[in-house]
Structure 1
Amino acid sequence: MLKRAIVLTAGVLMLAGCATQTRYVDPAADDGPVAMTMDYRDFEKAATEAVEDMVASGAVSNPNGGRYIMVVSRVTNDTMQRIDTDQLTKKIRVALLRSGKVVTTTAVGLNGAEDEMSMAARELRNSEEFDQSGVQKKGTLQAPDLSLSGKILQRNHTVGKEQQVEYYIMLSLTDLATGLAFWEGETPIIKRGSNDSVSW
């Protein structure tokens, strides 16, 4: 019985030793296998292409000088995957902020403020517990000029003995004063691979 336990323990240890070790991946130099699902490389590609096109088109160059204020509207996930669309919009926001052309308001949104503290801090007005010289005054919040919205689509096809998965990341930048789209873009991400691979 003891001998059997020793053999089983040794077998488990051998299997554990053969298992793939966890390691860090450098996103800037990742040449690992490509998944049929969307991964961080796809979001990086889509965000980079969108921002570069927005800047090149002049859509985010304010003719009055200064920076546009953008709000993130609805970006719909119409894929088979549970995608958090913030993974895309956050990259776009960061890149636009770094461009010096756009800032994003977190004080308003379709489902309420992204950061509720903008309004909560204003509830301190007239409170005897707070020095009123440091409390935000009325009329200081800035309304957005632009709205970013979009959709991520997925289409699956059989191509010979393989499957092809197509993702389309479609974005619009709307001028809120006129309701006109200042900019629109679409980034297709096409993957082809084994029918055994899953895309959800």
Structure 2
Amino acid sequence: MLIRALAISVGIAVLAGCAAPTRYIDPAADDGPVAMTMDYRDFEKAATDAVEDMLSSGAVNNPDGSRYIMVVSRITNDTMQRIDTDQLTKKIRVSLLRSGKVVTTTAVGLNGAEDEMNMKARELRDSEEFDQSGVQRKGTLQAPDLSLSGKILQRNHKVGKEQQVEYYIQLSLTELASGLAIWEGETPIIKRGSDKSVTW
């Protein structure tokens, strides 16, 4: 029994010694293998394409020179993967904010405020425990002008002895005053590889 336990321990140690060492990856210079599933490089490409197209189209140029206020609506995940769509929308929000054209409200959303402190802070009105000069006044929250919505689609195909996975990141920017989409874009991400690769 002791010999068997030692043999197992040695086997585990050998396997551990053969494992690839953990290392940092520079996202800007990552030339590692491409996964058939969506990875951070795909979200980076989709977000960059969307923001560059929005800016070049003039859709986010407010005629009065001020910044538009945008709210993030529903981004539907229609893939076989568990995708957190915030990975896409956060990159878009950061880039638009840095452009000086758009700011995102966190006070309103489909499922309530993204940052609940917007309303919690206003519950301090008339509290004797707080200096009322620092409490947010009524009528100071800003309503959104624009809404960002979209869908992430996945389609799988057999191509010879390989499989092809197609992802489509579709986005719409709606002017809330009119209900009209003032910008729409689609970024296709096509991957082809082993049919043994998992795509979910």
16-25 or 160-169, which moves further after superposition?
A: 16-25
Aligned counterpart, 1:124 = 124
- Asked if residue 35 in structure 1 is aligned to residue 35 in structure 2, the reply is yes
What does 1:46-85 align with in structure 2 at a 5 Å threshold? 46-85=46-85
Taking the TM superposition and a 5 Å limit, the aligned residue runs for 1:178-189 are 178-189=178-189
Shift in CA distance, 7/83, structure 1 to aligned 2, threshold 3 Å:
closer
Look up the SS of the partner of 2:16 in the other structure: helix
**Any unmatched runs of 5+ in structure 2?**
none
Which whole-Å CA distance do the structure 2 matches of 1:138 and 1:2 have between them?
A: 75
TM-score (norm 2): 0.96
2:24 corresponding residue in structure 1: 24
Consecutive unaligned residues of structure 1, counting only runs of 5 or more, are: none
Match of 2:96 in 1: 96
Q: 1:137 to 1:4 in 2, by over 3 A?
A: closer
> How far apart are the structure 2 equivalents of 1:121 and 1:147?
25
1:42 is paired with a residue of what secondary structure?
helix
The one-character-per-residue Cα deviations of 1:48-102 (angstroms, maximum 9, x if unpaired) are 0000000000001101111000000000000000000000000000000000100
- For the residues of structure 2 that align with 1:20 and 1:79, how far apart are their CA atoms? 30
What letter is aligned with 2:185? G
Q: Separation in 2 of the partners of 1:116 and 1:48? A: 29
Shift of residue 7 of structure 1? 4.9
Q: Shift in Å at residue 10 of structure 1?
A: 3.5
State the partner residue of 1:109: 109
Shift of 1:196: 0.3
Deviation at 1:17, TM superposition (A): 1.0
Give the percent of matched residue pairs that are identical in Structure 1 and Structure 2.
84
Q: Which amino acid aligns with 1:102?
A: V
1-structure distance, mates of 2:37, 2:7: 41
Q: In the aligned structure 2, how far is the partner of 1:87 from the partner of 1:29?
A: 20
Quote the Cα distance in structure 2 between the aligned partners of 1:58 and 1:110.
27
Deviation at 1:130, TM superposition (A): 0.6
TM-score, length basis structure 1? 0.96
Alignment of 1:119-198 (within 5 A): 119-198=119-198
